[in-house]
Each structure stands twice: as C-alpha cells, then as structure tokens.
Structure 1
C-alpha cells in the first residue's frame, strides 16, 4: 500500500486563488483542486493520500476542518487544522466534532512559530490522540523561515514524547545540515518531499540520513500540487533499498503510525454529536 502523506487541495471554486500566492518561486504540477487529487493519486499508483487542511487564520479553522471531513473517503484520508489564536478547547472541539485524527502545521502560512507557548499548549492537549504533520525549514521570507526550525521540532518531541509527529522535508527544507544535527535519532518521523523533486538531492546523502535515523521512521510525501507523486515514488525506489524497506517508506511506516489497515480508513477520535437547537 502506497500512502502519500503530503497532499494539498482546496474546493474547486477557490483553489487557484488559494494556491496562487503561496509559493510563487516553485513551479506547480497540478491545479490544487479537490476534484483533481483522487485522479492524480490513482494515475500515480498511490493507494491513499492524506489531504492536509490549513487555516491561515483562526476564523477559518472550523470551516477548513469541515471541508476535510466531507472530502475524505475513497483514496483520501484527512488531516485538519488548528490555530493558536483559538483556545485549546475550541481547536480540540473542532477536530473531534469532525472526526479528524491529525493536523497539519504550516508556519509559513499560519503566521506562528513552533516555540509559541500557545502552540505547545495545544500539542500537550493532543497527547497521543491527535497526530501532527509539520512543515519544517525554509520556503518563505527570512522571518517566516525562522518559525519552524529543526531545533524547534527537536524541543517539541523531547517535551511531548507521546506526540505522533511527522516532520516534512526530511526535517528541514533547504536546512538539511540543521536537520541532520538536531533531528536524526529523535522520536520523530521524517517525510520525503522536497519540491520540485526529491531527485534533486544527492541519493547518497538521502541514504545516509535514512540510515542514521532509521528507515522505519521515514514516510513518503509528494507535496502535490508542487510535486508529482509518480516522480517522487520513482525517486524513492531509485534509492535502491530492498522491497520490504521500500514498502515501509512508501506506506507501511505511516500505516503503522496511524493504525491504518489495508483498505480501511485511518481511525480518528470519536465524532462528537453536533449541538442541537
């Protein structure tokens, strides 16, 4: 089973507007529409894709989580969003109300740093219940690039050992030296996306990172629509690992982390009954 843990999509009507200004320096390979994503995954040989919802501001948190909840199914799993401008209880209530088992943190777009005490309060409340996929490293301007450093991720996983955390871009997009120093061997899963393609990284360096961290804690992500899932799968296969190790990276490790059985959706927290009246 191949699982792409890093997929972005928006409602068709707003996809172009939402995607356009986000990472203008990177070419896009897709349109970011939720109607397009399932076909891309199928054509790429991906069995399941994780739709990552991101609310840039607090007022969009619950709407984003509702979008994720109604979009999942078929090949799509869903991770939602939080924002520290909302109280911890409101963030948790939105996730539970929509049955969402994990969230995406994206410092570049959400405007908060990972060492913000309010973020830590939310992560503490997650415990082992809510998983986290986090952008780490560069990709924006100088200020936003300092909101999500490998060192901040190290501090989080040491403070919250029960937290199920996936650090995108091998733990440091265009900051691999810091990721190697701060994260290898820590209690964190590292994700493989490196737009426009992981193939731009020297394969011997990627193998060294995986060897030092442990192949059983590496998960596959493409970062669609900024990268092509089929090309990224080929880049993982080109690393030359045996079939068992490759299968783990491409899906088995994330399935184990999230308790996903073959052909079944990822389990989430119980959905709370919506208030009446």
Structure 2
C-alpha cells in the first residue's frame, strides 16, 4: 500500500483563489482541485492520500472540517483543522462532529507559533487519539519562519510523548541542518516532501538522515499540488534503500500510525528503530 500523507485540495470552484494566496513563489504541479486530486493519486499509484484541511482563521474551522470529512472515501483520509483563536472545546467538538481523527497545523498560513500555550493545550487534549501533521521550517517571511522551528517540534515531542506527530519536510523545510541536529532520533515521524521535489536534496544526505533516524520513522508525503506524487515516489525508490525500508516509507509506516493496516513493529504513537535502510 502506498500512502501520501501530504495532499492539499479545495472545492473545484475555490481552488484557484485558495492557491493564489498561499506560496506564489513555489511552482505548481497541479491545480489544487479536489476532482483533480483523485485522478493524480490513481495515476501515481497512490492507494490513499491524506487530505489536509487548513483554516487560516478560527471562523473557518468548522467549514473546512465539513469539507474534508465529506471527501472521505476509498482513496482519501481526511485530516481536519483547528485554530487556537477558537475555544478549545469548540475545536474538539468540530473534530468529533465530523468524525476526524487527525489535524494539520500550518504556522505560515494560520499565524500562530508552535510554542503558543494555546497550541500546547490542544496537543494535550489530543493525547494519542488525534494524529497531527505539522509544517516545519521556512516558506514565508522571516517572522513567520520562526513560528515552526525544529527546536519547537523537539519540545513538543518531549512534552507530549503520546502524541502521534508527523513533522513535514524532514522536520525543517530549508532548515535541514537544524532538523538533523534537533530531531534525528526523537520519537517523531519525518515526512519526505520538499517542494518542488525531494530529488533536489542530495541522495546521500537523505539516506544518512533516514539511517540515523530509522526508516520506520519516515513517511512519504508529496505536498500536492506543489509537487507530483509520482515523481516523489520515484525519488524515494531511487535512494536505493532496502525493499523493507522503501515499503515502510511509502506506506507501511503511515498505515501503522493511522490504523489502516496490521501492526508492523511499534504500536501507533511509538516508533522504535527497526527497519533500517
């Protein structure tokens, strides 16, 4: 099974407007339409994509959660959104109402830092029940880039050991040295997306990161429409890892975390160092 844990899409009529205000400096590999995403996943050989909802403001939380939940199906797993400007119980009630068991945190677009006490209140409330995938690293201006640093992720991991946490972009988009220093060996899943393509990273460096962190703690994500899932799958396979490690990264590790397949190693939320490349 291949699972892409990092997909963005919007209603067809809103996709162009939604994308236009995001990261105009990044090239696109798709139009961001929900109808297109289904075709892209099928063409790329992806069995399941994790659809990530992001509410830029508190007033949009429930509408975003309603949309992503409505897309739940054979090829899509909905991850919803929360916002610290919304009362804690209102955030949790929205997730419960729409049957959502995972959320995306995106400091660049949502305007909060990961060391905000209100964010920590949310993470404490999630416990091991709500999985989290979080943008980490650069992508905006200098101020917004400091809202989600590898050091903040390490602090979260150590404070909330039961949290099922995925750190995007190997734990630090364009801050890879910091991620290597702060996160390798920590109990967090690292995700592989690096728009416009992971192939821009030196393969020997990627292999070293996976070797030090543990292949069973790395999961595949494309960041569509900012990257092409098929090309990213090829880049992972081109690393020359063992068949077991490659299969784990492309889907087995995420399946275990999300409860989509039989256990293979550590139980959800805890990650040992088995499955080395």
TM-score relative to the length of structure 1: 0.94
For the aligned residues, what is the CA RMSD?
Answer: 0.7
Please state how far the C-alpha of 1:244 moved relative to its aligned partner: 1.2
> 1:266 matched to which residue of 2?
none
Please state how far the C-alpha of 1:60 moved relative to its aligned partner: 0.2
Question: Are 1:206 and 2:206 matched, yes or no?
Answer: yes
Question: Are 1:14 and 2:23 matched, yes or no?
Answer: no
Structure 2 SS opposite 1:133 = strand
Pairing 1:95-244 to 2, within 5 Å after superposition: 95-244=95-244
Q: Distance in 2 between matches of 1:65 and 1:224?
A: 19
Q: Any idea what the Cα deviations from partners look like across 1:101-153, whole Å, max 9, x if unmatched?
A: 10000000000000000000000000000000000000011111000000000
Q: Any idea what the Cα deviations from partners look like across 1:218-268, whole Å, max 9, x if unmatched?
A: 000000000000000000000001211100000000001111128xxxxxx
Structure 2 SS opposite 1:63 = helix
Q: Distance in 2 between matches of 1:18 and 1:100?
A: 22
Q: Any idea what the Cα deviations from partners look like across 1:145-200, whole Å, max 9, x if unmatched?
A: 00000000000010000000000000000000000010000110000000000000
What stretches of structure 1 move > 6 A for 4+ residues in a row?
none
Q: Distance in 1 between matches of 2:104 and 2:52?
A: 6
Q: Distance in 1 between matches of 2:170 and 2:13?
A: 33
> 1:79 matched to which residue of 2?
79
Structure 1 SS opposite 2:67 = helix
Unaligned 5+ residue runs, structure 2?
A: 263-277
Query: Number of aligned pairs?
Result: 262
Q: Distance in 1 between matches of 2:172 and 2:89?
A: 30
Question: Are 1:28 and 2:28 matched, yes or no?
Answer: yes
Q: Distance in 2 between matches of 1:181 and 1:116?
A: 23
Unaligned 5+ residue runs, structure 1?
A: 263-277
Q: Distance in 2 between matches of 1:153 and 1:228?
A: 27
Q: Distance in 2 between matches of 1:38 and 1:76?
A: 8
Q: Distance in 2 between matches of 1:261 and 1:237?
A: 22
Q: Distance in 2 between matches of 1:257 and 1:22?
A: 28
> 1:44 matched to which residue of 2?
44
Q: Distance in 2 between matches of 1:69 and 1:96?
A: 11
> Taking CA–CA contacts closer than 8 Å with sequence separation of 6 or more, which of the two structures ends up with the larger relative contact order?
1
TM-score relative to the length of structure 2: 0.94
Q: Distance in 2 between matches of 1:112 and 1:152?
A: 12
Structure 2 SS opposite 1:6 = strand
Please state how far the C-alpha of 1:74 moved relative to its aligned partner: 2.2
Q: Which moved more, 1:213-222 or 1:68-77?
A: 68-77
